[in-house]
Structure 1
Amino acid sequence: MQHGKYRFIVGFLIAPLALYAIFVIWPFIQSIYYSFTDWTGLSSDFKMVGFDNYTKMFDDDIFWKSLQHSVLFVLLLPLVTLALALFLAFMINVGGRQRKGATITGVRGSGFYKIAYFFPQVLSIAIVALLFQFAYNPESGAINAALSAVGLDNIQPLWLGDPDLALWCVMAVLIWSTVGFFVVLFSAGMASIPKDYYEAALLDGADRFTTFFKITLPLLWDTVQAGWIYMGILALGAEAFAVVQIMTVGPGGGGPDYSTTVLPLYVYQTAFRDAQAGYATTIGVALLVVTLSFAAVVTKLGRRERLEF
């Protein structure tokens, strides 16, 4: 009987595991292999160069700039996005004033706010980047026009053309485009928490601040931790790459003066603009290490006793 059970399980697992190995594991192995070659990506001719690509990477100033920007993204974007999403979700579900017949309610119009916050999710990230590229235009953009309308004509930054501001402008777009998803996610989690917990806390004299940190956050911790990892992967992956490439100046994006270049974009530029696919895969391996390290650290630091209700 046991033997038949295991055959049944293996029969269901073998196909998805084979597909995962072919389309996920094997490309990783290939990338590590090509990182030890001088492959241009344009021909099938290449030779092994040992650790030359890694030595070049450690001496590459642009790589270190890109790594610095990616680390900044992965540290700040999840922190700001999730904190803002938790606050908004809490106000939508629990933060309203006491009304007749209901002790725990969200703010008025909470249903509309959910739709408004989630709206950026229905837009392609490319469309979002283009819209904000126009908005940041120093001559005809909506942001400088709004500053002029309120009498702040003397404050007309170049935004994406300023090396000191460009990276922060990109981060603001990523926060705006992703916070709505987590508002809806956390709202769903908060809606499942029994209202009795909040009512008992309010009867004991707890304020909204206390109920958030003593009830809401502990019971949502698993969701927050998963969201933190997911947001970090977005900050290190396609979302950051697309926004930086589309919005910023310079050949292939990343400007001005590499002030917004992130690791995924540098991989793309090295492989397709500079025809150095072997070196690009080396940078890709570094990106893989950063991503896995981030996920491991968040999982380790966020581990706590599971609370159930």
Structure 2
Amino acid sequence: MRKGQYRFVAGFLFVPVALYLIFVIWPYIQTFGYSLTNWKGQSQTFDFVGLDNYKALVEDDVFLKAIWHNVFFLVFIPVITILLALFFAFMLNAGGRGRAGGVQGVAGSRLYKIVYFFPQVLSLAILAVLFNAVYRSDGGGLLNGFLIKLGLVDADSPVEWLNEPDMVLWALLLVVVWHGVGFYLVLFSAAMQSVPRDIYEAALIDGAGRGQSFFRITLPLLWDTVQTAWVYLGIVAMDMFVLVSSMTQNMGAYGGGPDHHSDVMSTVMMRNFLYYGKSGYACAMGVVMLLLTLVLSVVTLRATRRERIEF
């Protein structure tokens, strides 16, 4: 590059980099600074307490319990969502009856993609309202009403889906999976359509079944896309604030019931920040969440890294 070109590129990048530093990096630095104080959030007067907030986190049973709930979502949300999305995408793109040895998707696959993608257009707030009606703990709830009609549940003692400690996390998990499968189905379908049909047809000629074609051809060629999906779903699992705070029983504020059995790190943080007035302590939780999310992303990318397959 010539000297004038360097100046042009530097001038072009100055404004976006400056905005990024001001509106993204600086708030992170501020949060870390506040996490070292006893800031109450209502005023600008606070005292430096060092690492006391972080030491308190280690002894906070509610926060430690919330971390395990995030780990639960971190394990099951990516696994279930990706497996279902891959299965449906493969069936839509290569699950139809072959013509003259060829490979094609099922009839009406475009319509199916729209139907599967529809939950993605709903906001999480609308989703919470919708599934609160589904999980209502009386006969008027969609799920309980259906089970009562089938005679699987007694009308006098319906299942309290969001008030059972052993059931509430699974109920929330179902909502996230239902919401996310359609998006990743479309994502994987787009990646599959870039794979030449000749590869599938050659595999069929060699006697490979659909299962072998999926594991030997589709999955290796889509691995980069699966890796990206895993990172994004991991970030979703580390958040979960909107659904938990909107759908679960209040524990003072911001959900988490029953008895903190659905609390996640974000709900505990917001409760301490806005409800209890422990803003410095909540900032320490935010820093921990940031570090865990960064570690998760790096570990996931490195653990799932494979040699790129060209076609």
TM range (shorter): over 0.9
Scaled by the length of structure 2, the TM-score of the pair is 0.96
Match of 1:138? 137
Match of 2:117? 118
**2:281 pairs with 279, 282, 302, which one?**
279
Consecutive unaligned residues in structure 1, runs of 5 or more: none
Match of 1:218? 220
Please report how far the alpha carbon of residue 134 of structure 1 lies from its aligned counterpart in structure 2 after TM superposition.
1.2
Is residue 208 of structure 2 the alignment partner of residue 206 of structure 1? yes
Is residue 53 of structure 2 the alignment partner of residue 53 of structure 1? yes
How do 1:218-297 residues align onto structure 2 when only pairs under 5 Å count?
218-237=220-239, 240-250=240-250, 251=252, 252-297=254-299
Amino acid at match of 2:207: G
Match of 1:105? 104
Q: Is the 8 A contact 2:62 2:260 kept in 1?
A: yes
Please give the secondary structure, in 1, of the residue aligned with 2:256: coil
Amino acid at match of 1:110: S
Paired positions, count: 306
Deviation per residue, 1:159-192 (Å, 9 max, x gap): 0010110111001101101111000000011011
Amino acid at match of 2:102: T
Consecutive unaligned residues in structure 2, runs of 5 or more: none
How do 1:63-102 residues align onto structure 2 when only pairs under 5 Å count?
63-99=63-99
Partner Cα distance (1:222, 1:13) in 2: 29
Please report how far the alpha carbon of residue 109 of structure 1 lies from its aligned counterpart in structure 2 after TM superposition.
2.4
Amino acid at match of 1:103: G
Deviation per residue, 1:1-41 (Å, 9 max, x gap): 62122222212211111111111111111111100000011
Please report how far the alpha carbon of residue 102 of structure 1 lies from its aligned counterpart in structure 2 after TM superposition.
6.8
Partner Cα distance (2:112, 2:273) in 1: 43
Scaled by the length of structure 1, the TM-score of the pair is 0.96
Please give the secondary structure, in 2, of the residue aligned with 1:159: coil
Please report how far the alpha carbon of residue 79 of structure 1 lies from its aligned counterpart in structure 2 after TM superposition.
1.1
Match of 2:43? 43
Amino acid at match of 2:116: Y
